[in-house]
Structure 1
């Protein structure tokens, strides 16, 4: 019933509860991205590859992407095919724009589909059909599995505990991002890429500003 209530009824949560749900989406998106990229790069590189710039098992661009997908798709939730199309379209355009902007402004790439397998529909290495389809299916997963599960958890443990839990995991993710992507750039501290590179836990360690 949670899924049906979320899709077909007006969700009249308080601003505090909505903030907690957004933290949950942000955290869940980051975890999803880490799992997806870990599996894909085992296949692509033939070895366990540590992706992202954070210490935790999450990747920031997927966390922010999850929030974007939810915002643009919430009003379309009664029509899964529109959620699918909007998720792929919006995130695909953002990925291309971000990759192109980084490359033209710095001369470096945060990702390059020219060097990866399954890169059909590749455009300049910034976007390919695989990535767009992943975003599209991720939109369905978010809207019809993850968010209903978050709402189910909210109903089970109550608003206060839900807010504390989601805020805690969301802030932990944000602190990790700020440490590695901001503080490590201005202070002589060890960032996640250096830490995992020296630890020997991963045969390959890669990390980018955006992904």
Structure 2
């Protein structure tokens, strides 16, 4: 049995993860800046990244790259995959810390306030842009950066991220405007 070789080195995926996590953070910060007229770091962590966007983007990269020439299929699969990830992440964060970082209860066609049709369509569009347009461009940019710089960037990003995750495991970012509401937790003695 032969192993299927990954098309790129590990650093390709690490840099892609952080790039997409930053783009997701930027998207949400700008969205709240325009709608709420306030700068709000919407993530669980302190840094300028939302790992759910990085994880979702990597999942789309691995699962949908072969459909690059079929954007309609990529759109619907992106809607489904990203909505599933968003639902699970919402549930997990609520179980872990008793807080919801987002609530779509006021949006049409929502499921338990965790996902909604509008969000799914936006994920579909973003996933299609990622798979059909951005991944080929990213591949070219990746090839232009020297291996030494790629490895240095990966190490730097990973060290900062690990420190942030460690700190936020005890003190997650729950500041003003972060979540829709805090849920009460039952404490048993």
- Normalising TM by the smaller chain, what interval? 0.7 to 0.9
The answer for the alignment partner of 1:174 in structure 2 is 158
Unaligned runs of 5+ in 1: 1-13, 198-203
Q: 1:183 to 1:57 in 2, by over 3 A?
A: closer
Is the 1:53–1:177 Cα contact (8 Å) retained in structure 2? Answer: no
The answer for the alignment partner of 2:71 in structure 1 is 80
Q: 1:125 to 1:43 in 2, by over 3 A?
A: farther
Distance 1:46 1:132 in 2: 24
**1:150 aligned to 2:122?**
no
Is the 1:21–1:150 Cα contact (8 Å) retained in structure 2? Answer: no
**1:121 aligned to 2:91?**
no
The answer for the alignment partner of 1:206 in structure 2 is 178
**1:69 aligned to 2:60?**
yes
Query: Larger helix proportion, structure 1 or 2?
Result: 1
Distance 1:94 1:107 in 2: 19
Unaligned runs of 5+ in 2: 180-189
Provide the aligned length of Structure 1 versus Structure 2.
Answer: 176
Q: CA RMSD in A?
A: 3.0
Return the TM-score normalized by structure 2: 0.76
The answer for the alignment partner of 1:185 in structure 2 is 169
Is the 2:42–2:101 Cα contact (8 Å) retained in structure 1? Answer: no
Match of 1:140 among 128, 145, 148: 128
**1:29 aligned to 2:1?**
no
Deviations 1:115-146, CA, capped at 9 Å, x for gaps: 6xxx2222221001122122111112211332
The answer for the alignment partner of 2:187 in structure 1 is none
Q: How does 1:4-83 map onto structure 2 within 5 Å?
A: 15=6, 17-83=8-74
Is the 1:99–1:110 Cα contact (8 Å) retained in structure 2? Answer: yes
Distance 2:79 2:11 in 1: 25
Q: More relative contact order in 1 or in 2 (CA 8 Å, sep 6+)?
A: 1
